[in-house]
């Protein structure tokens, strides 16, 4: 984790600045007014710099020793927070192996300052837990950064730095959990590790074991987990500040590996299914961040954990299971397992929420459908809801966080495709609109009076292409920042 500070003066050998472009004309964009832009621009032109986003040009210099020039795209009076966040992250990634750098990226307000801080902290990440002989070849992420700014010294600026560090640390926790292979991350180990962190943050948590889940009737989680040697768990963590302004329940899909079960997935790409617990990791990390930020919101988190495997004890297509609370489900496709574990957890979350006086919001986060990627691509996640007001509030929060989400409908006419000839419902329906059908399935387990949003983060949770902006390869940690921004808006 990079530590962040801010001052008006340069204090290291490396300086990061921005470069923009309009009609072929390059412009240096920097919060450092002492820089001689003219001679530097000539050098950048010689080097063929274009100012495009994701472009990093390193220029040897005398004092500082090196200038790192990061593209900001088209020249603007003011750059958007997300442009600055990505540029800061991109520059930070290029500085792996260095200890310290000064960042003089342009900014006019505290939101932009905060975005630069977040970009740096998020970009300073790598994952080497499972490297042996090649570990020494890996460059350590940038260790500390000084943001050159007039804003950073204010109390608001200082709070932004602290917030960026907390948010990045929790995003990195999600990335680490997603990147950890299923050989080393099971429903039990996930629960144990999270319980330790929860305890260190003075949060209450409990682990529902396989036996407890069975005896209490959590047929979704136990059904999905029954084919695996690594038994399922339900992990519950709660943050209860004094005099909360709102009460929220978060539910996460925690499939530590999704082989597809007897509907076995093709070998090509199956490895990405170690990311199928990203929702669970995200909601737990969000609660940890909320506690560290001391947000005045009571939050219960429910991570529904199981490994979806093939074996003689695995669920068979046509098996009927009973979800917590009594609804029966015909499991036509054991690869549509996320909705089964989520159904149990959604019902439990509402039961506990009701006892505590009612929920202001119920939010589930899940790598739920391949159809998400068909509809929105690899980087934009989906939002579905039974409550437009809450969905709008969440979309506003994504404007602050810079994460890409898009609202999707839950068309009533698709619901009938989930009808089963033998049980209350089947676990699959129409293939067309598969993401929406999955959302409609979950909706059946949500009380109409409870404001609910469902986040399908299937592809955005795991980046199996190149690193970009502040996003590393592998687990991305998507949804944590938007959830925090949402909690802050209550
Ligand atoms: N975990 C997958 C969804 C997924 C696919 C996440 C690709 C990330 C990348 C989920 O459990 C699944 O297998 N869904 C099926 C549902 C279908 C059988 C109705 C799917 O999307 O194919
Ligand atoms: Mn599946
Ligand atoms: Zn899955």
Which residue do the tokens 């300052």 mark? Answer: 113
Q: Is 118 in the pocket of ligand 1 (CB under 6 A)?
A: no
> How far is the C-alpha of 228 from the C-alpha of 191, rounded, in Å?
16
pLDDT digits (tens, 9 = 90+) for 207-265: 999 999 999 999 999 999 999 999 999 999 999 999 999 999 999 999 999 999 999 99
Cβ atoms of 235 and 191 closer than 8 Å: yes
Q: Which of 240, 178, 237 is nearest to 208 (CA)?
A: 237
Taking residues 189-196, what's their average pLDDT? 98
> Which residue's CA is the closest to the ligand 1 atom numbered 22?
370
pLDDT digits (tens, 9 = 90+) for 176-188: 999 999 999 999 9
For the chain, give the percent of residues with pLDDT over 70.
100
- Model confidence at 1: pLDDT above 90: no
Residue 92 CA to ligand 3 center (angstroms) comes to 33
Contacts of 358 (CB under 8 A, 6+ apart): 247
- Model confidence at 325: pLDDT above 90: yes
pLDDT at 35 (0 to 100) = 81
- Model confidence at 37: pLDDT above 90: no
pLDDT at 161 (0 to 100) = 98
pLDDT at 229 (0 to 100) = 98
135 is catalytic: no
At 156 the three-state DSSP class reads helix
> Which residue's CA is the closest to the ligand 1 atom numbered 3?
369
Superfamily of domain 185-489: Zn peptidases (3.40.630.10)
Catalytic residue among 58, 216, 265, 393: 265
Question: Which phi and psi angles does 247 have, rounded to 5°?
Answer: -120, 125
* Ligand minimally distant from the alpha carbon of residue 256: 3
Average confidence score pLDDT of the chain: 98
Query: Which of 335, 364, 417 has the most ligand 1 atoms within 8 A of CB, as the residue to mutate?
Result: 335
- Model confidence at 33: pLDDT above 90: no
pLDDT at 234 (0 to 100) = 99
Q: Is 417 in the pocket of ligand 1 (CB under 6 A)?
A: no
Query: Which of 268, 337, 368 has the most ligand 1 atoms within 8 A of CB, as the residue to mutate?
Result: 368
> Which residue's CA is the closest to the ligand 1 atom numbered 13?
335
* Residues with CB in 5 Å of ion ligand 2: 258, 335, 337
Taking residues 476-484, what's their average pLDDT? 99
The number of residues making up the chain comes to: 490
pLDDT at 457 (0 to 100) = 99
Q: Is 456 in the pocket of ligand 1 (CB under 6 A)?
A: no
> How far is the C-alpha of 109 from the C-alpha of 150, rounded, in Å?
10
5 is catalytic: no
Tell me the pLDDT band of 38, cut-offs 50, 70 and 90: confident
Whether the domain at 3-155 and the domain at 185-489 fall into the same CATH topology: no
Helices (H), 260-412: 278-292, 338-355, 370-376, 388-401
Residue 334 CA to ligand 1 center (angstroms) comes to 10
pLDDT digits (tens, 9 = 90+) for 462-479: 999 999 999 999 999 999
> How far is the C-alpha of 16 from the C-alpha of 303, rounded, in Å?
40
- The number of CA neighbours under 13 Å toward the Cβ of 480 is 30
> How far is the C-alpha of 323 from the C-alpha of 220, rounded, in Å?
5
pLDDT digits (tens, 9 = 90+) for 416-462: 999 999 999 999 999 999 999 999 999 999 999 999 999 999 999 99
Cβ atoms of 230 and 187 closer than 8 Å: yes
Q: Is 367 in the pocket of ligand 1 (CB under 6 A)?
A: yes
Cβ atoms of 141 and 124 closer than 8 Å: yes
Tell me the pLDDT band of 397, cut-offs 50, 70 and 90: very high
pLDDT digits (tens, 9 = 90+) for 252-281: 999 999 999 999 999 999 999 999 999 999
pLDDT at 415 (0 to 100) = 98
Q: Is 458 in the pocket of ligand 1 (CB under 6 A)?
A: yes
Domain ranges of the chain: 3-155, 185-489
CATH topology of domain 3-155: 3.40.220
């Amino acid at each position: 984790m990079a530590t962040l500070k801010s001052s008006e003066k340069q204090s290291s050998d490396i300086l990061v600045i921005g470069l923009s472009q309009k009609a072929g004309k390059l412009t240096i964009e920097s919060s450092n007014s002492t820089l001689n832009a003219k001679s530097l621009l000539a050098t950048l032109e010689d080097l063929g710099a274009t100012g495009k986003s994701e472009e990093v040009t390193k220029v040897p210099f005398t004092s500082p020793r090196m200038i790192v020039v990061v593209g900001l795209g088209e020249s603007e009076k003011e750059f958007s927070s997300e442009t600055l966040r990505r540029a800061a992250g991109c520059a930070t990634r290029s500085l792996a192996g260095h200890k310290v750098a000064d960042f003089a990226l342009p900014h006019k307000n505290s939101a932009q300052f905060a975005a630069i801080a977040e970009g740096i902290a998020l970009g300073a990440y790598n994952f080497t837990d499972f490297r042996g002989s090649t570990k020494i070849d890996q460059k350590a992420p940038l260790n500390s950064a000084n943001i050159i700014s007039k804003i950073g010294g204010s109390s608001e600026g200082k709070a932004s730095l602290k917030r960026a560090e907390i948010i990045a640390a929790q995003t990195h926790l999600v990335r680490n959990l997603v990147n950890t292979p299923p050989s080393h991350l099971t429903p039990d180990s996930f629960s144990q590790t999270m319980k330790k962190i929860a305890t260190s943050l003075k949060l209450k948590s409990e682990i529902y074991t396989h036996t407890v889940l069975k005896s209490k009737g959590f047929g979704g989680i136990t059904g999905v987990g029954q084919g695996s040697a690594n038994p399922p768990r339900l992990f519950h963590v709660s943050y209860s500040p004094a005099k909360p302004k709102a009460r929220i329940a978060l539910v996460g899909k925690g499939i530590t590996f999704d082989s597809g079960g007897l509907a076995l997935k093709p070998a090509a790409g199956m490895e990405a299914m170690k990311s199928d617990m990203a929702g669970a990791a995200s909601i737990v990390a969000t609660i940890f961040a909320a506690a560290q930020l001391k947000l005045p919101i009571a939050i219960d988190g429910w991570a529904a954990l199981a490994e979806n495997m093939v074996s003689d004890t695995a669920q068979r297509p046509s098996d009927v299971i009973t979800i917590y609370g009594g609804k029966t489900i015909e499991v036509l496709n054991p690869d549509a397992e996320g909705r089964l574990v989520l159904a149990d957890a959604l019902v439990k979350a509402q039961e506990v929420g009701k006892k505590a006086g009612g929920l202001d919001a119920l939010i589930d986060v899940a790598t739920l459908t391949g159809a998400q990627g068909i509809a929105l691509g690899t980087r934009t996640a989906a939002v579905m809801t039974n409550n437009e007001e809450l969905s709008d509030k969440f979309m506003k929060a994504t404007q602050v966080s810079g994460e890409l989400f898009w609202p999707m409908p839950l068309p009533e006419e698709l619901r009938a495709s989930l009808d089963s000839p033998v049980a209350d419902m089947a676990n699959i329906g129409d293939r067309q609109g598969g993401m929406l059908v999955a959302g409609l399935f979950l909706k059946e387990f949500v009380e109409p009076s409870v404001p609910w949003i469902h986040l399908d983060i299937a592809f955005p949770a795991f980046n199996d292409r190149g690193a970009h902006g502040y996003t590393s390869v592998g687990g991305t940690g998507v949804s944590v920042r938007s959830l925090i921004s949402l909690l802050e808006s209550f």
